[in-house]
């Protein structure tokens, strides 16, 4: 498919009709970002129902890591679906065992790894909460402002990204304490770099653990090595290492939420590997099965010591999803992770050049193909530009680029890991043109 190829101004008539049907029958809670109605996809290119062709820099929120409908993944799904679709967790099947073995090879933890299989990121986080409490026999957890860990009640209690995600749902689960996340661009402590890391760590040690909760009653610290929904924020290395130093002496577990950052997206299998830290529990989902629902909660056999019946589900480790995941890991390890590192470095460099042409761009950051662009109205004051961000996402959409918002005023780029340098250059050109049109007085939203 030629990309971009906008044959009719989106949304076209077929898309409008489906969007209207959606409004009448589907929950209004879904935060739609553009009237894109997908018909098919291949690699990093997607086509809508009206025949418009786009470059996809969303990958279904970092899910379609191997690209849309990768033939190896489709073949694995088809072969498994032809044998059997489901067998509950009361029994066994080899694909789940093989996937557990594959995950044990790549898990960035000490000791032999075990995996609990679920169906989504939020379920994987729920399992991590329960496991941490069970293993430590402690009730409390420290999380971070700007974090997103899911929308079911336990994970929502950890989430602190947008108030709309919590508003109206009553009291959250007790025992959660939020600390500032070390954001080098706009540090909550008013510092920058390693100084920001030190201030945020000090808040945990000198405020939370002194005034709010005793260290021996904290089960775990949970952190995104790179914040996702919060704005694709890359913290200083010292921040993540400092969390490990706080946790270990007090017997707390360190949980890393790799739902969005894991499975090769940052140029390493897990983003935590950039920081040289070995967590106690790793949570992953999204990319692991290239689009089929799957969540992982991974810990050493010493930590995952709960007995039969303590935690289970019906669909976890679904055989078709396991087959897709095995094919996904083979592709990621076989070259896509290296491509993410190589093309990601190139894309970040080109975006930083673009930033020099637009005062609206305050910061470009990321690792691999997990890239954030923060928009501001004034670079000195860093006044956030959420309206302009939303308008730019829509302007780029009309030109043939799918991107997503993140945080209050950032754009996130999380394309399939098959993205080429030529496609990266195209993404930059399409983003470059959107604010230029606005500056010239053209349509912008």
Quick one: 86 and 56 in the same domain? no
Here the CATH number for the domain that contains residue 372 is 3.90.1150.10
Return the bridge partners of 413, or none. Answer: 371
Query: Could you read off the pLDDT of 25-69 as tens digits, one per residue?
Result: 999 999 999 999 999 999 999 999 999 999 999 999 999 999 999
Residue with tokens 């996702």: 228
Tell me if 231 sits within 8 A of 144, measured CB to CB.
no
Instruction: Give the whole-number percent of the chain exceeding pLDDT 70.
Output: 97
> Domain of 29?
13-70+335-439
Number of C-beta neighbours around residue 88 at 10 A: 12
In order, the DSSP letters of 97-139 are: HHHHHHHHHH--SSS-EEEEEESSHHHHHHHHHHHHHHHH---
Query: Among 288, 310, 331, which residue terminates a domain?
Result: 331
Contacts of 18 (CB under 8 A, 6+ apart): 37, 49
The reported pTM is 0.96
Quick one: 371 and 284 in the same domain? no
Longest CA–CA span in the chain (Å) reads: 65
Residue 315 CA to residue 304 CA, distance in Å, equals 20
Quick one: 95 and 191 in the same domain? yes
Residue 274 CA to residue 69 CA, distance in Å, equals 29
Cis? peptide before 11, omega within 30° of 0: yes
Structurally, how many domains does the chain consist of? Answer: 2
At residue 440, does pLDDT exceed 60? no
Number of C-beta neighbours around residue 237 at 10 A: 15
E-assigned strands of 45-98? 45-48, 53-56
Residue 281 is inside which H or E element, if any? Answer: strand 281-284
Query: Among 314, 331, 348, which residue terminates a domain?
Result: 331
Query: Could you read off the pLDDT of 319-342 as tens digits, one per residue?
Result: 999 999 999 999 999 999 999 999
HSE on the CB side for 386, CA within 13 Å? Answer: 4
At 252, is the secondary structure helix, strand, or coil? coil
E-assigned strands of 157-259? 176-179, 218-223, 253-257
Q: Is residue 7 part of a domain?
A: no
Residue 257 CA to residue 150 CA, distance in Å, equals 10
Query: Could you read off the pLDDT of 375-427 as tens digits, one per residue?
Result: 999 999 999 999 999 999 999 999 999 999 999 999 999 999 999 999 999 99
437: confidence class by pLDDT, cuts 50, 70, 90: low
Here the CATH number for the domain that contains residue 318 is 3.40.640.10
Q: Is residue 37 part of a domain?
A: yes
Residue 171 CA to residue 133 CA, distance in Å, equals 20
Residue 117 is inside which H or E element, if any? Answer: strand 113-118
> Is residue 331 exposed (0-12), middle (13-18) or buried (19+ Cβ within 10 Å)?
buried
């Amino acid at each position: 498919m030629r990309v971009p190829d906008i044959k009719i101004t989106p949304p076209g008539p077929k898309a409008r009709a489906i969007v209207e049907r959606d409004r009448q029958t589907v929950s209004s809670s879904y935060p739609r970002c553009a009237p894109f109605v997908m018909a098919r996809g291949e690699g990093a290119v997607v086509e809508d129902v009206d025949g418009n062709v786009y470059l996809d820099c969303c990958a279904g929120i970092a899910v379609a890591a191997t690209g849309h409908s990768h033939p190896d993944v489709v073949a694995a799904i088809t072969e498994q679906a032809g044998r059997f679709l489901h067998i509950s967790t009361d029994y066994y099947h080899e694909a789940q065992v093989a996937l557990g073995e594959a995950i044990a090879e790549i898990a960035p933890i000490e000791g032999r790894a075990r995996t609990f299989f679920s169906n989504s990121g939020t379920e994987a986080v729920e399992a991590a909460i329960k496991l941490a409490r069970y293993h430590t026999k402690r009730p409390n957890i420290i999380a971070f402002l700007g974090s997103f860990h899911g929308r079911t009640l336990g994970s929502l209690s950890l989430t602190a990204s947008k108030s709309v995600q919590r508003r109206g749902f009553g009291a959250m689960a007790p025992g959660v304490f939020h600390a500032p996340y070390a954001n080098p661009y706009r540090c909550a402590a008013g510092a920058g770099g390693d100084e920001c890391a030190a201030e945020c760590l000090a808040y945990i040690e000198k405020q939370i653990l002194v005034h709010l909760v005793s260290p021996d009653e904290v089960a775990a610290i949970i952190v995104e090595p790179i914040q996702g929904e919060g704005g694709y924020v890359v913290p200083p290395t010292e921040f993540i290492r400092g969390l490990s130093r706080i946790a270990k002496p007090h017997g707390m577990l360190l949980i890393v939420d790799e739902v969005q950052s894991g499975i090769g997206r940052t140029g390493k299998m897990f983003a935590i590997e950039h920081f040289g830290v070995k967590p106690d529990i790793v949570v992953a989902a999204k990319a692991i099965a290239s689009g089929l629902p799957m969540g992982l909660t991974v810990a050493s056999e010493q930590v995952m010591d709960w007995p039969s019946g303590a935690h289970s589900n019906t669909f976890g480790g679904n055989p078709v999803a396991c087959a897709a995941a095995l094919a996904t890991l083979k592709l990621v390890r076989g070259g896509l992770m290296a491509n993410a590192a190589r093309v990601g470095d190139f894309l970040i460099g080109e975006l930083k050049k673009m930033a020099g042409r637009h005062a609206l761009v305050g910061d470009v950051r990321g690792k691999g193909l997990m890239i954030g662009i923060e928009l501001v109205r004034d670079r000195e004051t860093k006044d956030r530009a959420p309206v302009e961000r939303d308008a730019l996402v829509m302007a780029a959409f009309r030109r043939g680029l799918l991107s997503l918002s993140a945080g209050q005023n950032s754009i996130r780029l999380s394309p399939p890991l098959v993205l080429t340098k030529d496609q990266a250059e195209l993404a930059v050109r399409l983003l470059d043109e959107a604010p230029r049109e606005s500056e010239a007085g053209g349509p912008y939203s």
